[in-house]
Structure 1
Amino acid sequence: MTYRMVNGKVETPEGCEINVAYHCNLGCASCSHLSPAFRRSLAEPETIARDLALLARSFRAQFVKVLGGEPLLHPRLVEILHSIRAAGIAPRVLVCTNGLLLPRMGEDFWAAVDEVEISVYPGRELPEEARARILGHAEDHGVTLTVNHYSHFRYSYSEHGTDDEQLIRRIHATCQIAHVWRCHTVYEGHFFTCPQSVFIPQIIGDPQDIRADGLRITDDPGFAERLLAHLRSPQPLRACRNCMGSAGRRMPHQQRTRRDFRIPQQHTTEELADRRFLALLETVPDADDGCASAESAPLLPSPSLRKRS
């Protein structure tokens, strides 16, 4: 299924994303959202509510994914979850987290969410008692748990980038983030094809407007058509000059401090590219990126307990 226009609204087969906390309680090497490089920074709930209510007039998704950084660091997260549901932009609300703070979350959190995706990294696993408590909350509230185990990352961006237009086009065309997973991001009144086009300019100090790759969300009659054209555009984004898309070289998982997070990326795009995987993506767009250490699977509560959207 591709993007389509239905009753004046653009429909996507996937979702859209809201980053509510740009910093994180971990420092994963090559974090695709560059979270270890951010100081404490939180999204304003009022801005999120306004943007999604406006976007909902022209856009329909299957779900809204709330992430970061680490979204559980936001002190008003439950309020944000309620505002997402009230916007009516999608039938399901998901939270993507590293899970370390989940044992502290109250009943109001579990009542406000439909699905929780937990990314587990080596050496950061929760103890068995905490996992059992989380599963119990999920079952009580009909929340689907999906646990993904990662042992590797791929370089997500290059500090020096590239001027090779052909390489930029290849990386953009094969980007699973933009074209397979469709991680479309709503940020401060704008709609972005991917989160990297929001975060890369802020970290590498690019003088261009950080909203240059985004489409301003408006309520005029022509917005839905502009949004559809934006999503279907084959043109690389400005951020693609520094983004590795899905074609970065693979690296073992490791934790880094804020001070040294950017050091491994001090290379050109050409140096950080996995040419073999890039070629594979050109023929197999949804090829496995080799970062998961074990098969990921949803842990589903019984049908009678599942939350109704």
Structure 2
Amino acid sequence: MSPDSYLVGLIGSGIGPSLSPALHEREADRQGLRYLYRLIDIDTLGVPPERTGELVRSARDMGYDGLNVTHPCKQQVLAHLDALSPQAEALGAVNTVVFEGDLAIGHNTDATGFAASFARGLPEAPLERVVQLGAGGAGAAVAHALLALGAGRLTVLDALPDRASALAASLNRHFGPRRATAADLLDIAAETTGADGLVNATPIGMAGHPGLPLPADLLHPGLWVAEVVYRPLETALVRTARALGCPTLDGGGMAAYQAADSFRLFTGREPDTARMLADIADLTSAR
């Protein structure tokens, strides 16, 4: 496509409600770009995640400039790329693919998105002891971001204990021994006592999975609380923590910053993150 025209897509499952097309296209319109963002839903196509590579090759052959990749394809896509950014390689997951000639280059903007959101929303938050709920794809990105931001000790809890243990082991290989540990969900009360912060990187709190990811009585005013879920922006966790006086961070910032980082990779242009943050607030309030 021409230098001012871009064709981009999102590969994933059940992505009909995604805000990515609107986020990208709004920013492109403001910058005077022709920018088409298409959804490539494997459920609609009847394609299993194992065929993600075929979708990537087809998109490249059709002239796409790049792709975003979401659940359950972030790991499946790895084997079909020509190179990975250092962060994508460390995370073992890709959420952004940029086509450079015949090459498909994988990136991950989830970790940078969370880090930027955290630095903006909770700049003075203590990081000596942090508890994270969730060790899936989003959890891995958030954990990397927290340790890169300087978290002294990160404890990861997940409904699948082996997944939490595997993530902690990977983090310690990357950041150094004893920076991360896995704990059983049954020990969540002991882990949150005395913790500086809590991050929810599970789907609990989403419109389709309402509720709290932990008992409300484990929250206390000395705890900052960060959320990955952004639909709704005010999850039950954010609302409950805020009522207790906890400093809180909703998931909208991560969504906006990761989209901005992807937009930069696709276009080489600098996105206006303040406007994209406003877009998130507008789009989530409208749905």
TM over 0.5: no
Structure-2-length-normalised TM-score: 0.29
As a proportion of its length, which structure holds more helix? 2
Greater RCO structure (CA 8 Å; 6+ sep):
1
